Amino acid sequence: MSNTTARARLHEIIRDRSFGYGEITLASGRKSNFYFNLKPTMCDPEGAALLAELTYEALKDDKLDYVGGLEMGAVPLAGALAQLSWMKGAPIGAFFVRKKPKEHGARLAIEGLTKTESLAGKRIVIVEDVTTTGGSAVKALDAVREAGAEVALVFTMVDRDEGASETFAAAGVPFRSLYKASEFLKG
């Protein structure tokens, strides 16, 4: 399947499974009359495969060591991308950042790495399912920078176009998206 065909099909899946109208409060605290909940798309076999394939294609030339982001939205994306990158012979490891470290066990903020692995000096991409202002992704960005990683970029599946570009520009990090919210809104 060509990237154009895959992108069109994924758009249909997101529209049918993950997009809707109705007043909601976003993670940023803002009110909106439309929403994206990408979990049904990320948990759909075809949706998950297309998200991984299109994300891999968008990132394959960025020379990445790891992909990850803030729980919960980044977890299925990072795992699917790690698996696909392995299958394509260009492995990219995965991790995720907890919203707050566990209060038991190893008490880690960054999960998915062994005791001998570190993000220090590694090129990583922060992935996110839906981005509004960028505040959630900045939490992951700060955590991996604190761990010594080089953040190559932030990549989201859907950019709501509500300030994230400015947030990441201020943080000195490139920002790209698979889709813009406007691609789903009625004309």
Residues belonging to the binding site are 98-99, 102, 104, 128-136, 160
Q: How far is CA 45 from the centre of its chain?
A: 18
Please state, in angstroms and rounded to a whole number, the distance separating the CA atoms of residues 14 and 42: 9
The binding site for 5-phospho-alpha-D-ribose 1-diphosphate comprises 98-99, 102, 104, 128-136
- The DSSP-derived string for 98-165 is -SS--SSTT--SEES--TT---TT-EEEEEEEEESSSHHHHHHHHHHHHTT-EEEEEEEEEE--SSHH
Please state, in angstroms and rounded to a whole number, the distance separating the CA atoms of residues 152 and 174: 7
In the 8-state DSSP scheme, what is residue 94?
Answer: E
Please state, in angstroms and rounded to a whole number, the distance separating the CA atoms of residues 58 and 79: 16
State which amino acid sits at residue 121. G
The binding site for orotate comprises 132, 160
The dihedrals phi and psi of 103, each to the nearest 5 degrees, come to: -95, 5
